[in-house]
Amino acid sequence: MKERFLGVDVSSHSYEQLKKNVIDDINHKKQSFIVAINPEKILKAQQDENLRNLLNKATYQIPDGVGVLVASRLKKGNIKERVTGIDMLLTLCEQAEEHGKSVFLYGAKPGIAEEAKEELVRKYPGLKIAGVLDGYEKDEQKVIQTINESQADILFVALGSPKQEYWIVDHMDELNVSIFQGVGGSFDVISG
Ligand code: UDP
């Protein structure tokens, strides 16, 4: 379920399929990594083989940006819906609330993830937020330990791109989290 643009994979799953897959992955204790792909990232990946390999390592490359939809249409592909990083984050929170799964917010300046948490709980009152941590904590072991102790099912990483994607791939093995998503500046947007 992938289409390739200039060497970069993009998942052609519909929103509905993505929602179902993510909950199935959690229930099967499978680790999945979600990355949002836009034309800017595809262009950056042209000159950077490490970045290209990193993006292609993700389980789901969501089509964030109309450029990807246009390119898919030109190639008679199947990517019809835009799925932005922030929409995916909100959808995962909605799914987590519905299925009793928990989320962890890691990243952004001190205080921001806490404000985003309050906003998300206002929007999804039954959502379990297992923990929050700002993106400037220097002690990596503390970050890993805090996330593991929270027993979160879903981890949103807001360190900016591609730092967050490298961080996810480097630490996935040490974390007992099922779903990882790099979310860029989303906590700043949600916290207002
Ligand atoms: N950030 C962080 N730690 C860092 C560098 C950045 O937590 O070491 C946060 C920053 O505070 C901001 C986010 O990462 O909340 C980056 O947002 P931006 O919109 O620049 O990311 P993009 O969506 O462009 O990848």
Atom of ligand 1 nearest to the CA of 187: 15
Tell me the CA–centroid distance for residue 166 and ligand 1, in Å: 13
pLDDT confidence of residue 107: 98
Contact indicator for 35, 165 with CB cutoff of 8 Å = yes
Asked if residue 88 lies in contact with residue 181, where contact means CB atoms within 8 angstroms, the answer is yes
Ligand 1 centroid to residue 137 C-alpha, Å: 13
Domain boundaries, the chain: 2-191
The number of the ligand 1 atom at minimal distance from the alpha carbon of 162 is 25
pLDDT in tens, 104-131: 999 999 999 999 999 999 999 999 999 9
Is 49 near ligand 1, meaning CB less than 6 Å away? Answer: no
d(CA 116, CA 83): 20
> What's the distance, Cα to Cα, between the start and end of the chain in Å?
35
Contacts 24+ apart (CB under 8 A), 150-153: 150/102, 150/104, 151/102, 151/176, 152/102, 152/103, 152/104, 152/177, 153/26, 153/96, 153/101, 153/102, 153/103, 153/177, 153/178, 153/179
Backbone angles phi, psi at 29, to 5 degrees: 55, 40
pLDDT digit string, tens, across residues 40-61: 999 999 999 999 999 999 999 9
CB distance 109 to ligand 1 below 6 Å = yes
ipTM: 0.96
Q: For 2-191, CATH number?
A: 3.40.50
